Structure formats: structure tokens, C-alpha cells
Amino acid sequence: MNALTLAAGRLEDQAEEAAVAEQYIDDPGLWALEKLGTHLWSKQVQIAESVRDHRQTAVQSCHGVGKSFLAAQLVAWWLDIHPPGEARVVTTAPTGDQVKAILWSEINGAFAKAESRGRPFLGRINETDWKLGKRLIAFGRKPSDYNPHAFQGIHAKYVLVILDEACGINKQFWTAARAIATGEHCRILAVGNPDDPGTEFARVCSGGRWNTIKISAFDTPNFTGEEVPDELREMLVSHAYVEEMRLEYGEESPTYISKVLGEFPLDAEDGVVRLSKVRACCRPRDVPWAPEQLVPVELGVDLGAGGDETCIRERRGVVVGREWRFRERDPKRTAARIVEAINESQAEVVKVDAIGIGWGMVGMLQEKQSQGLHRAHVVGVNVSESSTRPDRFKNLRSQIWWEIGRQLSEDQAWDMSGLEESDRERLVSQLTAPKYTTDSAGRTVVEPKDETKKRIGRSPDNADALLLAFYSAGVPRMRWLP
């Protein structure tokens, strides 16, 4: 074989490689399949092609569609299709766990898979950094790790910014993202559950310059019948999950609307507690409360009746604390369970819904206190009684829901950040359920509990217990968010 033949062969190989590279730029789905052996389903392909074609893409989606998985594939695709060293990727999410344990765990997985298939990516990778030589070409950080102005030092021809769990990212970081993605070939991808209508994510998804993609559970392969590999189908949102969400929260709840339908719930004009305000009542976990802000320790008790659960909620100063839930028909056993919660929490005051069977329970708990079985002061609260401000509220229930539920949310004066997601979602759904009107005297009237139960298909017992926990003459008014 002569030199001319070898040269021609090399040119042919180079031409073939260039054609494949061009194809991978145009077809990210093909790239994922051939490079990683990964099947992207139709909505994932639509998102990838939007990043290819549009400078700004926003994806509002239900749970369980592979948002973070796809974002990780796009990080690798972006760095792989552009000339080495000319592309940069910046990712962020509201918390360190979301950066490291979710998105960058998937990025590391993609890196390892390419290597195992004999088609390794350039560079080396660790938990949240991807380097090419000594150059940092991709990294993930949570907002508290850096000042948004530090973004301004990032320059490259091809910059991709990924805002994961975008509903929880403050506006200043959206501004910083736009500042480094100004070039013609730069891209921003924002993905997340549409939980909060008061966020910057909600604003960009409402239309305008962003290409917005919406994904409902009912758009996914397990509902549409789209053909996908079995291992992928098992990872996607299921019929069982959707039914569980419907039964747990109700189809009108903000949780169902967001996490199943992939839509932003709205602040109801006649809702007592506004969704956008109560969603904001989550202090950053790395900013601790001072000890004096974690007292008093008090419990609210909403007694179960007619098959409903008894709910006990703890408040520790401004922090929404633990919950105890159970069903007991025997009042003595119910009292014993409440005493257990009192002693476990070391609560100083316990406030019990005293309507109906409640007065008897108040007496039993007071008797147990006199016997030395617990040390808490027990208070009966009858919400059907007159308000302490009869010119403003029809009854005490209306006053409690307005001055505690609505006002503490408006003032961001209670903190739900320490709750498990399912607990927080249950509270948010119940807090935003009751509606209000005004009577002929101009007073606020919150609908009776039975009306709320009839409308949403469940009793807001968890929320009522929470309001009782915070019910006192000296409710703290501490604003801690900008």
C-alpha cells in the first residue's frame, strides 16, 4: 500500500468522523444511543433539541420523567460535540444534595458508562467538577457556595448553564446565568417541578423569550403507550403513583397540580393562605436559628372524629416541628398517645381543639398533668366561639386561620424547611385549601371545616393542628428572608 493510498484512507476516515460529529450535533438522541447506549423518550428528545435550537429553554414537569437524568446527558453531549476546551458548563440547584447527589451523580454515571463502552470522554471528573488538563470545563455549585457575581468570570464560545430544581433558585442567580450566556452559541436550560407561582421560574415559563416545554404524567410512556425499553419504563412515573397522589392530596390540590399535571398552581383569590407565600417559608438549612428562636415548645392537637385521624403538631419557636398521627376510638388510649408526644417533645403548652369530644380530652390531659404524668399546661380552644376581635372576624376559627395561617405565611414568620417533603406537601395542600368571604358587616369569614372537607375530599386536620400549635397571644413576627 503506497503513501497516496494511506493518505486517501486517512482523509476518508476524517471525513467519516466529521460526518458523524455533525450528525451528533444535530441529533442528541442518536448521540445518547450510540455514545452511552441510552434511550431518550420523546419529551426528552424534544428538550434536547430545544437546547440545540433555542438559547433559553424552560421545562416545567411532573415528577418521575427523568429531568435530572436528561440534564446530565446534555452536560456530556455539550462538552463532547464542541471542540475540546471551547465549551463550558455551569450547573446549579438550591441545595448541595441536589447538586451532588442528583445531577452530578448522573453526570458521573454518564462519564463512567462512556468509558465502559470504550468511548470515553476527554478529561477527568470528580463529585462536582469536570477538568480537561488543568482547565475546569464543567462544575456544579449550590448558591451558597459562591457569589453570583463570580459567574461573570466565565467566558467561552459555547456556554451551557443548567438550573436544576429551578423553582428553588433565587432571581439573582437567574440574572447571573443570563450574564454568562450572552453569546449566540450559549444556552440556558431550566428544569423543575412547577411548585410555586411566585418564583422566577414561574415567570419565565409564562411565555416570552424562553422556549417552554410542559410535561404531565399523562404525557409519559406509561400513559401514552410510547414504546420504550422495559428498564426505562420502570423508571418513569407510574399509574400507581398518580393514584396515590390523587388519594393523598386530591386533584385540586397544588401538590397534585404540580407533581402530576406539571402545571403551576395559582394563588386562589378567595384562598385564606396564599400558595406562593407559604412556599417561601423555608429557611436555608445552612443558616441555623439562634437558640432563643427555638422556644417555646408547644403542641397543637386536632382530635379525630368520624374516622378522621388525630393529629398532633409541634412548634419549636418559629420552626414547624414534628407530627404525630394516629386513629384511636378509645379516648383513654388517645390521651395516652398525646401524653407520649408531650413527654417526647418536652412541650410546655398543649392546645387542644375543644369542640365536641375535645372538652373531655382537655379534662383527661389536665388530670394526667396533676398526676405527674406530664408537665405541660393544657389549654382547650373552641374555635366556634367569638373572636377576640369581633369587628374583624366572625368567629375564633376565622381569626386563627387569618392571623396565624395567612399572616405568618405573608410575614415568612414560620419555617417549614426541616420537614420531610411528604409532610410539607400535606401541610401546604391543607393550608391552601380553606376559602374565605366577608359578611354584611365586612368581617372575614373562613369557611367551616366541614365545607372544606366536602370540597377537597379530606379534612384539613394537619393544618388545624399546626395553627393550634402556633396559637397564642404572643405569636412571633420574625422576617428572615429578603
Which residue among 220, 244, 268 closes a domain? Answer: 244
**pLDDT number for residue 14:** 46
Checking if the pLDDT of 476 tops 90, the result is no
Using the 3D structure, point to which of 190, 221, 244 is the last residue of a domain: 244
All three cell numbers of 126, joined, read 470528580
Radius of gyration of the chain (CA): 27
Least confident of 71-75, 136-140, 174-178, 444-448: 174-178
Q: 453, 442 in Cβ contact below 8 A?
A: no
**Using CA atoms, how far apart are residues 335 and 303, in angstroms rounded to an integer?**
10
Amino acid letter, 217: A
**Cα dihedral value 275, 279, 280, 284, nearest 10:** 180
Q: Is the link from the previous residue into 482 a cis peptide, with omega within 30 of 0?
A: no
Element spanning 51, H or E: helix 42-53
d(CA 399, CA 383): 9
298 close to 469: Cβ distance less than 8 angstroms: yes
Average pLDDT on 156-177 reads: 90
Give the per-residue pLDDT at 267: 84
Lowest mean pLDDT among 11-15, 62-66, 90-94: 11-15
Residue 259: inside a domain, yes or no? Answer: no
The pLDDT-based confidence of 249 (bands split at 50, 70, 90) is confident
301 and 169 in a single domain? The answer is: no
User: Would you give the distance in Å from CA 158 to the centre of its chain?
Assistant: 30
Flag whether 249 is in a domain: no
Average pLDDT over residues 78-92: 94
Query: pLDDT at residue 145 above 70?
Result: no
Residues 165 and 288 in one domain: no
- pLDDT given at position 150: 56
Q: Tell me which H or E stretch contains 13.
A: helix 3-26
450 and 367 housed in the same domain: yes
- Flag whether pLDDT at 25 surpasses 60: yes
363-398 residue pLDDT tens:
999 999 999 999 999 999 999 999 999 999 999 999
- Is residue 310 classed exposed, middle or buried when 0-12, 13-18 and 19+ CB atoms within 10 A define those classes? buried
In a domain, 80, yes or no: yes
Chain-centroid distance of CA 418 in Å reads: 13
Give residue 191's pLDDT band: very low, low, confident or very high (50, 70, 90): very high
Shared domain check, 289 and 236: no
Do residues 228 and 306 share a domain? no
More confident position, 115 or 148: 115
Of residues 77 and 153, which shows the higher confidence score? 77
User: Cα(439)–Cα(431) distance, rounded to whole angstroms?
Assistant: 22
Q: What is the mean pLDDT of the chain?
A: 88
420 within domain boundaries? yes
The pLDDT of residue 480? 36
For residue 11, pLDDT beyond 60: no
Size (the chain), residues: 482
Question: Which pLDDT belongs to residue 20?
Answer: 61
Which residue range(s) make up the domain with 89?
Answer: 24-244
**The pLDDT value given to residue 48:** 97
* One domain for residues 292 and 209: no
> Which ranges of 184-281 does DSSP label H, i.e. alpha helix?
200-205, 221-224, 230-233, 239-249, 254-259, 275-279
CATH number of residue 354's parent domain: 3.30.420.240
Do residues 206 and 308 both lie within one domain? Answer: no
Q: What is the pLDDT of residue 475?
A: 36
Please report which confidence band the pLDDT of residue 458 belongs to, taking 50, 70 and 90 as the band edges. confident
In this structure, the answer to whether residues 122 and 181 fall within a common structural domain is yes
**Is the Cβ–Cβ distance between 301 and 347 less than 8 Å?**
no
Q: How confident is the model at residue 269 (pLDDT cuts 50, 70, 90)?
A: confident
Among 83-97, 207-221, 461-475, which is the least confidently predicted range?
Answer: 461-475
Sheet holding 135-141, edge to edge: 124-125, 129-132, 135-141, 87-92, 158-163, 187-192, 56-61, 211-215
Q: Is residue 263 domain-resident?
A: no
Give the C-alpha distances (Å, rounded to integers) separating 182 from 82, 171, 187, 202: 18, 17, 8, 22
> What is the average per-residue pLDDT within 242-263?
91
Predicted pLDDT of residue 478: 39
Do 283 and 147 share a structural domain?
no
**pLDDT score recorded for residue 97:** 82
**At 240, is the pLDDT very low, low, confident or very high (cuts 50, 70, 90)?**
very high
Domain-embedded: residue 256: no
Q: Which helix (H) or strand (E) holds 462?
A: helix 461-470
Q: What's the average model confidence in pLDDT over 297-306? A: 88
Residue 270 within any structural domain of the chain: no
Give residue for cell 433558585: 169
Tens of pLDDT along 33-45? 999 999 999 999 9
* Residue 144: per-residue pLDDT: 65
In angstroms, how far is CA 22 from the centroid of its own chain? 38
Tell me the pLDDT band of 479, cut-offs 50, 70 and 90.
very low
- What is d(CA 181, CA 155) in angstroms, rounded to the nearest whole number? 9
Amino acid letter, 350:
V
User: Which of 192, 223, 244 is the last residue in one of the domains?
Assistant: 244
**Together in a domain, 35 and 132:** yes
Lowest-confidence region among 62-66, 285-289, 375-379: 285-289
Task: Specify the number of domains making up the chain.
Answer: 2
Q: Is the confidence at residue 436, as pLDDT, over 80? A: yes
Q: Do both 95 and 196 map to the same domain? A: yes
Nearest CA-CA partner of 61 in 230, 224, 237: 237
For 65-82, what is the mean pLDDT? 95
Please name the residue that has the C-alpha cell 424552560.
Answer: 58
- Nearest Cα to Cα of residue 204 among 174, 179, 162, 168: 174
Q: What is the CATH number of the domain that holds 153?
A: 3.40.50.300
Do residue 219 and residue 310 come from a single domain? no
Asked if residue 76 is part of any domain, the answer here is: yes
- In the predicted model, what is the mean pLDDT of residues 23-36? 94
Report pLDDT for 369: 95
Give CA–CA dist 473/381, Å, rounded.
13
